[in-house]
Amino acid sequence: MLNGLRADECMEKFGVTEDDLYDVRQTSDVANIDSCYWGCYFRKIGFLNDKGQFDLNNFQTTTKTLMRSFSRRLEKLLKKCEYVKNETVTDGEAGCERGTLFAVCFAKNDPPFIRNTI
């Protein structure tokens, strides 16, 4: 959960339960959750645009409001995961694969961050 931002709509749409998210928080293993959940979630927080692409400007605007306490940490994390925006995906504008790639990168580079933001 991102400072109170819930993705209940994404959870319902892709069959993700509170227990699933709890498991991710405990293990940082994002692979056990439907990849389209991650696409939906990252769209909700402004990280991916409608075309499933990384949208740095929108995300920075969103995070200034929602994540003041995480801003420096997030900037470092974004730099580490910036390569994801150029990765080839096969789902076009759906954003499922790219959302999962970001979730994996976040979990790998800062496990506590992903635990505290979903």
In a domain, 83, yes or no: yes
Say if residue 1's pLDDT is above 60: no
Phi first, then psi, for residue 95 (nearest 5°) are 85, 0
Q: Give DSSP secondary structure letters for 18-71.
A: HHHHHHHHHH--GGGS-HHHHHHHHHHTTSB-TTS-B-HHHHHHHHHHH-GGGH
Helix (H) or strand (E) holding 117: helix 111-117
Name the residue among 44, 38, 45, 41 with its Cα closest to residue 89. 38
Q: Is residue 16 part of a domain?
A: yes
Give the chain's domain count. 1
Domain containing residue 52: CATH number: 1.10.238.20
Put simply, whether the predicted model's pTM sits higher than 0.75 gets the answer: no
Residue 2 lies in a domain: no
The answer to the question of residue 1 being in a domain is: no
Per residue in 57-100, pLDDT (tens digit) is: 777 776 666 666 667 777 788 889 989 988 999 998 888 999 89
**65 located within any domain:** yes
Asked whether residue 18 is domain-assigned, the answer is yes
Residues 54, 100: Cα–Cα separation, whole Å = 12
Q: Tally Cβ neighbours within 10 Å of residue 94.
A: 17
Give the pLDDT confidence of 38-53 residue by residue, as tens digits: 999 888 877 888 888 8
User: Residue 88 in 3-state DSSP?
Assistant: coil
Q: Which domain holds residue 64?
A: 8-117
Top-confidence residue, 30 or 57: 30
The verdict on residue 51 lying in a domain is yes
Query: Cα separation of 42 and 115, whole Å?
Result: 15
44 found inside a domain:
yes
With b meaning 16 or more CB within 10 Å and e meaning fewer, what string describes 52-66? bebbeeebeebbeeb
